[in-house]
Amino acid sequence: MRALSSVNTIVAGTFLLATSAIAQVNPSAPPAVGVVTAEFKPMAESTEINGRIQARDRVDLVARVTAFMNERLFTEGADVKKGQILYRLERAPFEADVEAKEAAVAQAQAQLENADLALSRAQELLRKNSGTQVTADSALATQRVAAAQVKAAQAQLHQSQINLDYTEIKAPIDGLIGRTSITVGNVVSPTSGSLATIVSPDPMYVTFPISVRRVLELRERYADKGGYHAVQIRVRLPNGEMYGQTGKLDFVDIGVAKDTDTITLRGTIPNSMIQTVGENKLYELTDQEFVTVSLEAVEPLKVLAVPRAAILADQQGDYVFVVNGKNVAEQRRVKLGQSTPDIAGIVDGLKPGEKVVVEGIQRVRPNLVVAPAPASPTPAGR
């Protein structure tokens, strides 16, 4: 019995030693991680800048003469057409001035006719040796003075007719007219300021400053795709909603603002009409409205993409963990490019086809053996 007990003790001890040795060789299983394959994907490039909506055409109506305002012939906020009479000023003083200038022209023409006759007689007498050269020269000078006086009188008449025409203030463009600042019965003059403003409602301009560096990037990036025409504009309204229409860049300023090192860009964007209230048409975009401008590529860019959850950062910059063919996690420094809140675009440090850790990152260390598996469709957080 003692011999059998000794044998059992030896066997048990041997088993414990073997189990302990195995535990030392493989103390724990590799941590499970979820990975995705880095691959090229289309991504809409977007940059947001503060901008302002501006009417394509904007005219402030001003009086060109001093007179009483007799009539206002438009509805505030309504559509007006080019050439439409908007204000009518008092005409009587200007009509009287035109009549006086017409009389002055008639008088000057009569004096010219008399001077023509005197010159003709003086020249005839000179040919017959009955007159003197001095008399003929004097008659010629008088005739020329009379002709000049006719032209001066005609010019004054023309100016008076212009002033009479100014008593009718007309729309120089098609558009929406705003509120009148001076009412009927008041005296208006060139110093009265703007009587009302007309703006063209559709399309609208959107202007915004952008850094010189960014302008150069856009120019270089889209040089083979139509330049700035390959960039489309979207607008976020003050209430945070994205405007439904898109626009195109049509102008880049010729100079740089010294204080901000920016260049002003301008785009054209359609303006959707919301509704009609009486004679007033309401549009989505309003002149001088403050908006957020988003610059996007017309055609999405192809970028090497990984989920945002894969990107880690320390004092040296951004990095990811790449699982190599031996299932060893490698720390890889990367440079980010165009990205979105969910997708990170990689421009350096990663190759297509490499497997990047997106799940279980908190358990990963450099050079650690891991157990990779395809990540879930919605990668977990870091």
Tally the domains of the chain: 4
Nearest C-alpha neighbor of 91 from the set 169, 156, 154: 169
Residue 379 within any structural domain of the chain: no
Residue 16 within any structural domain of the chain: no
11 pLDDT above the threshold of 90: no
Question: pTM for this one?
Answer: 0.65
Residues 72, 189, single domain; the answer is yes
The per-residue pLDDT for range 45-66, each reduced to its tens digit, is 667 889 999 999 999 999 999 9
Taking CB atoms within 8 Å and a gap of at least 24, the contacts of 269-278 are 269/203, 269/204, 269/205, 269/206, 269/233, 269/235, 269/243, 269/245, 270/202, 270/203, 270/204, 270/245, 271/201, 271/202, 271/203, 271/204, 271/245, 272/244, 272/245, 273/201, 273/202, 278/75
Residues 290, 354, single domain; the answer is no
22 pLDDT above the threshold of 60: no
The CATH number of residue 195's host domain is: 2.40.50.100
**Among the three residues 165, 187, 218, which one is the final residue of a domain in this structure?**
165
- Classify the C-alpha dihedral 243-249-250-254 as positive or negative: positive
Residues 285, 207, single domain; the answer is yes
Lowest mean pLDDT among 16-25, 132-141, 179-188, 193-202: 16-25
Residue 26 within any structural domain of the chain: no
Cα–Cα distances (Å) from 132 to 128, 157, 237, in that order, read 10, 38, 88
**Among the three residues 258, 281, 301, which one is the final residue of a domain in this structure?**
301
Give the pLDDT confidence score for residue 10 in this predicted structure: 41
Backbone angles phi, psi at 197, to 5 degrees: -125, 135
pLDDT classification of 136: cutoffs 50, 70, 90: confident
Residue 107 within any structural domain of the chain: yes
Residues 212, 297, single domain; the answer is yes
The CATH number of residue 317's host domain is: 2.40.420.20
Residue spans of alpha helices (H) in the chain: 2-25, 92-127, 133-165, 212-221
Residues 249, 264, single domain; the answer is yes
Residues 347, 321, single domain; the answer is yes
* Average pLDDT for 129-151: 88
Residue 22 within any structural domain of the chain: no
Q: Which domain holds residue 339?
A: 32-42+302-374
Residues 273, 209, single domain; the answer is yes
291 pLDDT above the threshold of 90: yes
9 pLDDT above the threshold of 60: no
Give the pLDDT confidence score for residue 4 in this predicted structure: 42
161 pLDDT above the threshold of 90: yes
CA–CA gap between residue 379 and residue 163 (Å, rounded):
76
More confident residue, 3 or 89: 89
Residues 344, 319, single domain; the answer is yes
CA–CA gap between residue 245 and residue 222 (Å, rounded):
22
The CATH number of residue 290's host domain is: 2.40.30.170
Residue 336 within any structural domain of the chain: yes
Residue 23 within any structural domain of the chain: no
Residue 4 within any structural domain of the chain: no
Residues 269, 248, single domain; the answer is yes
Give the pLDDT confidence score for residue 23 in this predicted structure: 40
The per-residue pLDDT for range 64-105, each reduced to its tens digit, is 999 999 999 999 989 999 999 999 999 999 999 999 999 999
pLDDT classification of 226: cutoffs 50, 70, 90: low
**Among the three residues 275, 301, 327, which one is the final residue of a domain in this structure?**
301
The per-residue pLDDT for range 242-267, each reduced to its tens digit, is 898 999 888 888 889 888 889 999 99
The per-residue pLDDT for range 214-223, each reduced to its tens digit, is 888 777 777 6
